[in-house]
Amino acid sequence: MFKKVIIAEDLDAMNLGIQQVLKDLEIVDFQHSKYCDDAFLKIRVAILQNEPYDLLISDLSFKTDHREVKITSGDELIQKVRQLQPAIKIIAYSVEDKNYRIKSLFDVAEIDGFVLKGLNSIEELKKAIHLISNSDQKFISPEVASAVQEKNNYEMDDVDIKILKYLSAGTSQDEIIEIFKSTDIKPNSKSAIEKRLSKLKDFFKANNTVHLVSITKDMGII
């Protein structure tokens, strides 16, 4: 079982629940942070002191307040922690149920578990901690288990995402072309952008651009 745990979670009411879980599991050595920056710092310090954490439980979305922060989302935090301490186990604990985002957490950041905040998430969190503490198996909440097996036969790249983001920000296709040319982004012809858009619409079964942006927004891609 884990000896030293760190929690990154901003909502105070939620924190109580997580701490209850750890107490039930008789894990006494845990810290929690309301800010990603703070959590990252604690993890770094722990490594330097030769007493690294062996589990990170992190939320994905964090509220912003007056404080100036560098790491704004749990995704970023997880990413950076994975680089800093590759062996640490990571559980994402979130209400996020968009397949795309969950899948990329497993694929890119190689999280060890994903627990969906829900009606029985406290029990699930316990299960997840148990499972990954003494094996290298992955845990994923049953409600979203389909996310990982889902194969995206069409791999979207950075440019696709950029286009979608610009579109949703009200940029016209022509303006996007201008921006791409001036910032030296590779495919920047009218046809190329159009073709990509057409492929995206095809893939997401969108009737038109408005629909496409609406769908990808819902999926949490942009």
Partner DNA sequence: CAGTATTTTACGGAAAACCATAATCCGTAA
Partner DNA sequence: TTACGGATTATGGTTTTCCGTAAAATACTG
DSSP 61: B
Give the Cα separation of 35 and 49 in Å (integer). Answer: 21
- Find the binding residues for DNA in span 178-197 (CB under 7 A): 186-192, 194-195, 197
Which residue number, 36 or 197, has a Cβ lying nearer to DNA? 197
Give the contacts of 184 (CB within 8 A, at least 6 positions apart): none
CB of 180: closest distance to its own copies in angstroms? 17
CB of 105: closest distance to DNA in angstroms? 27
Distances (CA, A) of 29 to 3, 96, 121, 125: 7, 28, 22, 17
Secondary structure (DSSP) of 154-172:
S---HHHHHHHHHHHTT--
Question: Which of its own copies, DNA, none does residue 219 bind to, with CB < 5 to 8 Å depending on kind?
Answer: none
| Site residues (vs its own copies, CB under 8 A) | 10-18, 20, 34, 63, 65, 95, 117-122, 143, 167-172, 206-211, 213-214, 217
84, 43 contact by CB (below 8 A): yes
CB of 186: closest distance to DNA in angstroms? 5
CB of 177: closest distance to DNA in angstroms? 9
Total Cβ atoms within 10 A of residue 194: 12
- Find the binding residues for DNA in span 125-184 (CB under 7 A): 172-174
- Using CB under 7 A, which of 98, 162, 165, 201 touches DNA? 201
- Strand, helix or coil at 52? coil
Which residue number, 51 or 118, has a Cβ lying nearer to its own copies? 118
Q: Which amino acid is at 133?
A: S
Which residue number, 120 or 198, has a Cβ lying nearer to DNA? 198
The residues binding DNA (CB under 7 A) are 172-174, 186-192, 194-195, 197-198, 201, 208-209
